Amino acid sequence: MTQHAPADKQIRVLQLYPRDMNIYGDYGNALVLMRRIQWHGFTPVMLSYNPGDEFPEAPDILIGGGGQDSGQDRIQQDLLGLGDRLRSLAEEHTPMLMVCGLYQLFGHFFETRDGSRISGIGVLDVETYGTDNRLIGNVVSESADFGRIIGYENHSGQTYLGPTATALAEVVVGEGNNQRDSHEGARFRNVLGSYLHGALLPKNPAIADFLIGTAVERKFGEGLGPLKAPQSSPETLQRLTELAREAASARPR
């Protein structure tokens, strides 16, 4: 079986700020994308961007993870410098997944508990306020676009959607964006923001395939075929995913 697609069929995945923004298993999202891109018959290319780097050309998918408030503070200036470029990519329907700390900074701002503001780039119409309450534990949520989304939250910031934001999902178990409404995450075009780590994509392959399928459609004008994993049947992969989802859903918070 051919495991490698021709080099011209590359899908370029760009990880934003992996040095500072990459906790609670977020790197697993990058690994899942690499593997599934290959299983879908394309060549994955992993790129990283840290403060001061040259921004890689033509990324097809962007991902970003969570971090401490101090990490968010460290990347703030650099991220603001990328604002125009990232807003254009979002407007052009580039698929992106931003988790927790970078979800907050893809919004307008994160106001920490001491009242200082870490500015965001406003791709998503959301605002975040630090609180004394840390929201921790597994989350089960329902999304119109992706079905049941399961993950793990750990944040003290609480996020509120503005008038032009759409929630990614509604929480069934856990807290999600905040303790007042039941929203989890946000979506603008193909940009998904979510509080869920764990990592998110191993337990939610529907979201991984949305990111990959959107990238493939935009770049090559074709849809995704069936998954071809060299060592496992699709049924085995499905079963492993289900076991992980069941285990996470059954754990107490």
In the sheet that 43-49 helps form, which strands lie side by side, from edge to edge?
Answer: 43-49, 10-16, 61-64, 96-99, 191-194, 186-188
- Binding site annotation covers 134? yes
Q: Is 63 in the site for ligand GLN (CB under 6 A)?
A: no
Which of 59, 64, 120, 157: binder of ligand GLN (CB under 6 A)?
157
Q: Is 161 in the site for ligand GLN (CB under 6 A)?
A: no
* Catalytic residue list contains 100: yes
- 23 or 244: CB nearest ligand GLN: 23
Q: Is 151 in the site for ligand GLN (CB under 6 A)?
A: no
Q: How far is the CB of 42 from ligand GLN (least distance, A)?
A: 30
- 158 or 214: CB nearest ligand GLN: 158
Q: Is 176 in the site for ligand GLN (CB under 6 A)?
A: no
Q: Is 133 in the site for ligand GLN (CB under 6 A)?
A: no
Q: Is 36 in the site for ligand GLN (CB under 6 A)?
A: no
* Catalytic residue list contains 197: yes
Which of 36, 74, 108, 155: binder of ligand GLN (CB under 6 A)?
155
Q: Which residues contact 17 (CB under 8 A, 6 or more apart)?
A: 49, 50, 51, 64, 65, 67, 71, 75, 78, 79, 102
Q: Is 64 in the site for ligand GLN (CB under 6 A)?
A: no
Q: Please list, residue by residue across 34-63, b when 16 or more beta carbons sit within 10 angstroms of its beta carbon and e when fewer do.
A: ebbbbbbbbebbebebeeeeeeeeebbbbb
**Number of Cα atoms under 13 Å in the Cβ half of residue 46:** 13
Q: What angle do CA 59, 96, 111 make, to 5 degrees?
A: 120
Give the interface segment with ligand GLN, choosing from 44-52, 61-69, 83-91, 177-185 (CB under 6 A).
Answer: 61-69
